[in-house]
A and B are shown apart, each in its own frame.
Chain A
Amino acid sequence: MLSTGNDIVSLNAINITRSKQPGFYSKILCDTEKALYRESETALMPFENYVWLLWSIKESAYKYLQRIQPGLVFSPTKFVVKQLQIPFLYAITTFDVKETEGRGFDSNAVFKSTITFGAYTLYSRSLMYRELIVSVVNGDEDFENTGWGIKLINKSDPEYQSNAVRAFLVNRLNKLFHLDGLMIGKSMHGVPIVLKGDAEVGLSVSLSHHDKMVAYSFQFG
């Protein structure tokens, strides 16, 4: 079955001091991931960014698998980032637009990783700006059929975030598929689904929000 998982972290909203405390990051990173930071060029990025990059990858992987394993519990240290490839000549930049959308990631300065969870091997693509980190996880290394979007919003209350990300995704889907009246609902297991009327459209989508930012991902069927 097609699936996708995504996550967005507002770096404006994280507690930098706490993120660097072992008691905090040890609940997110396993020992091999701590070593991965020390041993690789990832040490060029601030440690708090590394912690939240891996958080976003793991949360995305959890969302990917939640569609396949309903009832799965998110346990960050059980999702293990095995490899992390940093963009060539990477330099962090400002997210200087209100919103951006894309298909695939080849044209972007993208972080690539491989994640394992039990018998599963998953793959991620992440974008990191000064203000935010966005990750998307797929079951294979080909992200050509992955649609994604990032948008800054005006408020951070949960209802506003929820409505904003749904409207953002529906607008993209309407433009792509020329289907009016699409809505985003939730399955009985709590994962987002696309509906036209009462009927479910066979499209895997994932939604996320944090602070005044929202993001989506979906798989072209």
Chain B
Amino acid sequence: MTRIEILNELKKVFAPYTTNKEMLSSINDSTDLIKDLKINSANLVDIIIDAENKYNIEIDFDAADKMINVGSCIDVIREKLNQKNVEYR
């Protein structure tokens, strides 16, 4: 998946947890989940679980720690998708 494809899918993952819909429509790599999208920290684990379910990947603790902004979320998901593809070969 390309970064753009993942970004568009991530908008759907974030949607239930942000009231800032205007910001959601224009997110980019530097958009901070808490400071910009105003996502409550109590929902960060929900986002990780939703991303795991959507992409059928497992996001470990170290990877989850990096998921602070949109760009780092995309990086983590791409890395986990690549690992999964390697395992399937």
**Residues on A facing B (Cβ under 8 Å):** 9, 13-15, 18, 23-24, 27-28, 52, 55, 59, 73-78, 157-158, 190, 209-210
Indicate whether A158 sits within 8 Å of B20 (C-beta atoms), given known contacts A73-B68, A74-B41.
Answer: yes
Q: What are the residues of chain A within 8 A of B61 when measuring CB–CB?
A: 27, 75, 77-78
Question: A59: nearest residue on chain B (CB-CB)?
Answer: B41
Taking the closest CB of chain B, its distance from the CB of A94, in whole angstroms, is 21
Q: Does B64 have its Cβ within 8 Å of any Cβ on chain A?
A: yes
Cα distance, A210 to B34, chains bound together (Å): 13
Cα distance, A13 to B39, chains bound together (Å): 13
Does the CB pair A24–B49 fall under 8 Å? yes
Q: What are the residues of chain A within 8 A of B19 when measuring CB–CB?
A: 157-158
Q: Does B48 have its Cβ within 8 Å of any Cβ on chain A?
A: yes
Taking the closest CB of chain A, its distance from the CB of B77, in whole angstroms, is 16
A9 in complex: contacting residue of B38, B42, B68, CB < 8 Å: B42
Does the CB pair B49–A23 fall under 8 Å? yes
Q: Does B5 have its Cβ within 8 Å of any Cβ on chain A?
A: no
Q: Does B79 have its Cβ within 8 Å of any Cβ on chain A?
A: no
Q: Does B45 have its Cβ within 8 Å of any Cβ on chain A?
A: yes
Q: What are the residues of chain B within 8 A of A28 when measuring CB–CB?
A: 45
Q: What are the residues of chain A within 8 A of B45 when measuring CB–CB?
A: 24, 27-28, 76
Majority DSSP secondary structure for residues of A touching B = mixed
**Residues on B facing A (Cβ under 8 Å):** 19-20, 35, 38, 40-42, 45-46, 48-49, 52, 61, 64-65, 68
What are 12 inter-chain pairs, A to B, with CB distance below 8 A? A18-B46, A23-B49, A27-B45, A28-B45, A52-B42, A55-B42, A74-B41, A75-B64, A75-B65, A76-B45, A190-B35, A210-B42
Q: What are the residues of chain B within 8 A of A9 when measuring CB–CB?
A: 42
Q: What are the residues of chain B within 8 A of A75 when measuring CB–CB?
A: 61, 64-65
Q: What are the residues of chain A within 8 A of B65 when measuring CB–CB?
A: 73-75
Cα distance, A23 to B48, chains bound together (Å): 10
Does the CB pair B46–A15 fall under 8 Å? yes
Question: B37: nearest residue on chain A (CB-CB)?
Answer: A158
Cα distance, A24 to B52, chains bound together (Å): 11
Q: What are the residues of chain A within 8 A of B38 when measuring CB–CB?
A: 158
Q: What are the residues of chain A within 8 A of B42 when measuring CB–CB?
A: 9, 13-14, 52, 55, 59, 210
Q: What are the residues of chain A within 8 A of B35 when measuring CB–CB?
A: 190
Does the CB pair A23–B52 fall under 8 Å? yes
